[in-house]
A and B are shown apart, each in its own frame.
Chain A
Amino acid sequence: MKTLKFARAIKEGFLNFYRDKWLTLATISVMALTLFLIGVTVFLGLAVHQTIANIEKRINISIYFNFDVPEDDIIAIQKSLEEKNLSEIQKIEFVSRAQALEQFKTYSDNDPDILDALDVVGENPLPDALVITAADTSNYESINTFFEEEYSALISNTSYRKNKGTISQVRDRMIFVRNATSFLSILFILIAGLVTFNTVRMSIYAHRKEFEVMRLVGASNTYVKIPVIFEGILYGLASAICAVIVLIVLVYLVDPFAKGILEDANISGLYGSQALTVVLSMVAGGFVLGMGSSYIAIRRYLER
């Protein structure tokens, strides 16, 4: 009998969802909008984190070796460090004097003045170097100290001292952006949650007289509750599907414009790689918000 009553209660939820078309439409519109906000927030959060990770990848320090240190010795140091597999270091790259000069010329756009200056110097003034990318920007200080202490006799200079201020500034800003994004995400999700809760509550308020009648004809509280909670879940899932569709369309519409502004922006690519996370967040958000809101709202009417 319990199974029969449960199946009937579920059918009730479906019928309410289907028959109260205007109420359903109004509820889903507002919920879809708030879930869309959650989706955009999650997506932007992921985009910010990915952008920060990309920026972090571009930060590195160069360890310049004395001119009399043979190239093979430097490559041996690189290999020995790579074999140690240090957690602080993500990548070690050897840049020879010749490569350094080529890069310098490229960076300076083959400026005639610089080329003349190099001619005057006569020989390549740039030393061999190891370019280190750290696993985390906070590791650069210790990496630099390590090289300065361990290989002091071989090293002429490092770029860390010169770039220390910039690295720390970039790091501070990234931490700020990361924290601000997390804070805003939580704030938006809270707002979205409150709006959804109130929307579902209003739709249940519209049914309040029916609950009284249901109880008068002998429906148990559970029998009244299940259809309402199920209806709430349906609201949540339908809203999530609408919000996901709008988000996907928006991502592909915005992508070309973003590429026009930022050369390496790839919103659709990022969305593609994170689509499952974003879609699951929205569907789970819809499910939980729909179910939770309806459960809390219906309890009020059944307390008497």
Chain B
Amino acid sequence: MSLIRFENVSMVYPQGAPILRDLNFEIEQGDFVSVIGVSGVGKSTLLKLIYAEERPTEGRVFFGERDVSTIKKRLLPFYRRNFGTVFQDSKLLDNKTIYENVAYALEVQGKSSAQIGEEVPKILEIVGLSHQYDKYPGQVSGGEAQRASLARAVIHRPRVLVADEPTGNLDPNATWNIMQLLLKINEFGTTVILATHDTATVDFVQRRVIVLQDGSIVSDKQRGMYED
């Protein structure tokens, strides 16, 4: 059984044009999927449907056997613990240090202080931020903030990492670092769904590519390049 399944999913924002039209696709556990298309084509909306920040106007989104639309609001935070999320802006909490930001994902799940004290330094070392742990987000570079965001997204070992334009604000070197980390995370078995319009990142990964155009899937290749 697939991990994520879209069945005839359409999405229309209130008083707006349809943003997604009749999407049908499946994502397996351990996949690395890039969703590409120009800005405004519906990539972010597609991701939001997966982690239930939005609900489809028509059709159904399944996570395993579960129809995501049927999850009660109060249970959504628990559903979202299956995911790690990374965005173009790192969305770190400004009044917390890098360490505290990463630890927060474990704190909300009620993990013990001992476990947090063990896990956070490890992940910070993996993303190369051991020396920046006590800095606030405003005191580190964009690339470092994004790496911290990535560390926060995966520290609780989610089944899926959702990355929405994670390299959009970064220079080529920082972009390369982030993509390396995404591939490493995927190697550990975490499904990665990457939305981007950056040709270089897609070409670098050379994995499954879903192309969106006018809200519809126009191409879905197992090993694609941006220009394919």
Q: Does B91 contact A (CB under 8 A)?
A: yes
Give A15 to B95 CA distance when docked, in angstroms: 8
- Chain A: CB-nearest residue to B53: A216
* B-contacting residues, A203-242, CB 8 Å: 209-210, 212-221, 223
Q: Across the A-B interface, how many residue pairs have beta carbons closer than 8 Å?
A: 58
The number of chain B residues touching the other chain, given as a range, is: 20 to 34
Q: Is the CB of B91 within 8 A of A209?
A: yes
Tell me the bound Cα distance from A218 to B107 in angstroms: 10
Q: Let me know if A216 and B74 touch, CB within 8 A.
A: no
Q: A15-B95, A16-B95, A20-B95 are in contact. Are A217 and B110 (CB under 8 A)?
A: no
Q: How far in angstroms is the closest Cβ of chain B from A64?
A: 79
A214, A215, A216: residue with the most chain B Cβ atoms closer than 10 Å: A216
- Tell me if B226 is interfacial: C-beta within 8 Å of chain A: no
Q: Does B81 sit at the interface, judged by CB under 8 A?
A: yes
In this assembly, does A84 line the interface, its C-beta being within 8 Å of a C-beta of chain B?
Answer: no
Q: Is the CB of B105 within 8 A of A217?
A: yes
A161: Cβ under 8 A from any B Cβ: no
Q: Check B63 for interface membership: any CB of A closer than 8 A.
A: no
Q: What is the CA–CA distance of A219 and B91 in the complex, to the nearest angstrom?
A: 15
Knowing that A5-B110, A220-B77 are A-B contacts, what are 16 other residue pairs whose CB atoms are under 8 Å apart, sorted by A's residue number? A2-B110, A4-B110, A8-B107, A15-B95, A15-B96, A16-B95, A209-B91, A210-B93, A210-B94, A214-B93, A214-B108, A216-B53, A217-B152, A217-B153, A218-B77, A219-B77
Please tell me if B85 contacts chain A, counting CB pairs below 8 Å.
yes
30 CB contacts below 8 A, A to B, read A1-B110, A2-B110, A4-B110, A4-B112, A5-B107, A5-B108, A8-B107, A15-B96, A16-B95, A210-B94, A210-B95, A212-B91, A213-B91, A213-B92, A213-B93, A214-B93, A214-B104, A215-B77, A215-B80, A217-B104, A217-B108, A218-B78, A218-B108, A218-B156, A219-B77, A219-B104, A219-B108, A221-B74, A221-B77, A223-B108
A residues sitting closer than 8 Å to B (CB atoms) are 1-2, 4-5, 8, 15-16, 19-20, 209-210, 212-221, 223
A4–B112 Cα distance when bound, in Å, is 8
A57 CB to nearest B CB, Å: 58
- CB A160 to nearest CB in B, in angstroms, measures 71
Contact A19 B104 (CB under 8 A): no
Say what secondary structure dominates the interface of chain A. Answer: helix
Q: State whether the Cβ of B6 lies closer than 8 Å to any Cβ in chain A.
A: no
Residues of A within 8 A of B92 (CB): 213
**Nearest Cβ distance between residue A93 and chain B, in whole angstroms?**
70
Given contacts A5-B110, A8-B107, A223-B108, contact A216 B156 (CB under 8 A): no
Give complex CA distance A5, B95 in Å: 19
Bound complex: CA A19 to CA B137 (Å): 14
Docked CA distance A103–B77 (Å): 83
Q: Is the CB of B95 within 8 A of A220?
A: no
Q: State whether the Cβ of B169 lies closer than 8 Å to any Cβ in chain A.
A: no
Complex: chain A residue closest to B113, CB-CB: A4
The distance in angstroms between the C-alpha atoms of A292 and B77, with both chains bound, is 24
A216-B51, A218-B108 known; A19-B95 Cβ under 8 A? yes
Assess whether A220 is in contact with B78, with CB atoms less than 8 Å apart: yes
- The interface residues of chain A lying within 8 Å CB-to-CB of B91 are 209, 212-213, 216
* Interface: B109 (CB within 8 A): yes
7 closest cross-chain pairs (CB), A and B? A218-B81, A219-B108, A1-B110, A220-B77, A217-B105, A19-B95, A213-B91
Q: With A and B bound together, what is the CA distance between A216 and B92 in angstroms?
A: 11
In the bound complex, residues from chain B placing their C-beta under 8 Å from that of A16 are 95
B95-A218 in contact (CB<8A): no
**Which residues of A have CB within 8 Å of B78?**
218, 220
**Nearest B residue to A18, CB-CB:** B95
Nearest chain A CB to B24's CB is how many angstroms away? 26
Please, what's the 1-or-0 string for B67-108, where 1 marks a CB less than 8 Å from any CB in chain A? 000000010111011000100000111111000000011011
| Residues of chain A contacted by B109 (CB below 8 angstroms) | 218
Is A218's CB under 8 angstroms from B105's CB?
A: yes
Pick from B80, B94, B108, B112 the residue with the most CB of A within 10 Å.
Answer: B108
Contacts of B53 in A (CB 8 A): 216
